[in-house]
Structure 1
């Protein structure tokens, strides 16, 4: 079974496959689907009907009849609970013959790192006493917050995949949008997902 990822950011090209593998490892260690290299499309294109349709059609061909498609993007200033269902309805309308999920990170993918900040202490130049901010998903510039904490600043294409390898998935499920991703990965594969702690 093939999994096709559609992402908007340069960092997610390397991070998203790692993250999906980590979630699947927790949910079903014996399961080993083929996770294809992500198809990166700008957010501006993904939020337009024509751009979204092109991305979904492209990935539907790549994953084949029994494949799965996961679209992952940042909400920025949009509401995930509005943007996600709108894009999902469109995507399923374009390809009702494919299993498709859409997950919109509230603000940014990096907000998930902030939510699980304790698990990143001492990693990638982060301080040993790092604590999450009061409302991680409310921070408009999670990348900037990380950059201020890191000795060499935050570099998305280098640090995002590295931090994706380390952050505590259970702690990150305190974030509603990350919990949604965790549940959607399970749903795509018909797996039972335990409730978040």
Structure 2
């Protein structure tokens, strides 16, 4: 069996729940958009496993919890890559990613690549960065990653519910705007560039890479 599927470990229920309109979860929509933008479809595909593996934020940083979740995905013979996606809230995405990557590196060799991405502050912050494409005529007047509780702001202004709307909002997300206005989204975008380049060369990577 070819290793060509991207699986995911996510934190939020909204990332994992299937949209009633598309039948896809937000993380699958996100992966699909990135593969389309970066011409990765000939190499990689979103995994059809549903629901995606979920963990609470605290569990990512508890001994063996993340490692066990990664080991669980080793049973999938088509797994080419594992996206680990979580909301960093007030924590520093770089510092926390470094902590997780250090643990993942100790698990080498792995049969698939691993991408670690932390949204600053939360997944919904990326929606603020592209609000005009999600809600026509509305522009978020501020720094998307500076606002705490972007989810609450969207709920107040647009009756947003993650389990109902997150996949559809992701479908409307403009990747160029999100990259321009959100550093953590740029990190996600660049991680997928790395992954696709590695897949072309039949290499396994763990990203981000931190000097020893």
TM-score, structure 2 normalization: 0.80
Cα root mean square deviation, aligned: 1.9
Q: Superposed, which structure 2 residues align to 1:1-80 within 5 Å? A: 1-13=4-16, 14-28=25-39, 30-31=41-42, 32-37=44-49, 38-63=52-77, 67-80=80-93
Structure 1 runs not aligned, ≥5 long: 123-128, 192-197
Q: Superposed, which structure 2 residues align to 1:1-197 within 5 Å? A: 1-13=4-16, 14-28=25-39, 30-31=41-42, 32-37=44-49, 38-63=52-77, 67-97=80-110, 98-122=112-136, 129-150=137-158, 153-174=159-180, 175-190=182-197
Bigger relative contact order, structure 1 or 2 (CA pairs below 8 A, ≥6 apart):
2
Q: Greater helix percent: which structure? A: 1
Q: 1:112 to 1:171 in 2, by over 3 A?
A: same
Q: CA deviation at 1:93?
A: 1.7
Q: CA deviation at 1:45?
A: 0.9
- Offset from partner CA, 1:23-63 (integer Å, 9 cap, x none): 10011164252424321111111121311111111123225
**How far apart, in 2, do the equivalents of 1:57 and 1:29 lie?**
25
Corresponding pairs, count: 183
Runs of 4+ in 1 over 6 A off after TM superposition: none
**How far apart, in 1, do the equivalents of 2:98 and 2:61 lie?**
12
Higher mean C-alpha displacement, 40-49 vs 100-109: 40-49
Structure 2 runs not aligned, ≥5 long: 17-24, 199-212
The 8 Å contact of residues 6 and 81 in structure 2, kept in 1 or not, is answered as: yes
- Offset from partner CA, 1:55-77 (integer Å, 9 cap, x none): 1111232255x621110000011
